[in-house]
A and B are shown apart, each in its own frame.
Chain A
């Protein structure tokens, strides 16, 4: 499986934008980029996924580099509830049936 690299931790102030980076230099042409997050004492939560184009949903935006070797999850206005571990994961396709290969993720701290 292609590997992803994320910073261990990041810190943000409440109500400011947060850019969470992910490097995936060995990504293949058919790999989808998924982001999940895990709040304390909860199961992971789907955030967003994309293939080549930037994607937006109610939770976040996903910016994918033109060469697809990196991507950035953007939280437009961080809230205290966004404090979580964020995982960037590559999968072979976007349909169900794939295994999510969770790495260590980035622990996001949001301060008031």
Chain B
């Protein structure tokens, strides 16, 4: 059974650019969440989608946005990148009532 797939695995961007990260959940999972992990702040919740609707949002600026498609695949976008956005971005999917399964993440470096 395929796990949660995140692409790309690594990304280098310049300050001011924007970036789009992709997440394919486990087949049948309709809930997809995004997290940011940095050495200083640890793992922080960004947002959660279910059936193409955002149900929960963390405390991040509006530069961080996401969406979910009808096949449950999700993308997150960060506009006007800042150096502080360098982080590991993790996606997780879930079947109702079960735990979340995380992907291996996308490592974003902003220079």
Interface residues of A (CB under 8 A from B): 34, 36, 42-47, 49, 87, 94-104
Tally inter-chain residue pairs, CB-CB below 8 A.
Answer: 62
Interface residue count on the B side (C-beta < 8 Å): 28
The dominant DSSP class at the A interface is loop
Which positions 43-80 of chain B face chain A at CB distance < 8 Å? 43-45, 48, 50, 55-56, 58
Report the Cα distance A103→B105, complex, angstroms.
19
The smallest C-beta distance from A61 to any residue of chain B, in angstroms, reads 16
B60 CB, min distance to chain A CBs, angstroms: 12
- On whether the beta carbons of B104 and A42 are closer than 8 Å, the reply is yes
Among residues of A, the one whose C-beta sits closest to the C-beta of B94 is A96
Knowing A43-B92, A44-B43, the reply to whether A97 touches B99 (Cβ < 8 A) is no
Q: How far is the CA of A14 from the CA of B48 in the complex (A)?
A: 38
The reply to whether B33 and A99 form a contact with Cβ atoms under 8 Å apart is yes
B42 touches A98 (CB 8 A): no
Contact with A99, one of B4, B48, B50, B90 (Cβ below 8 angstroms):
B48
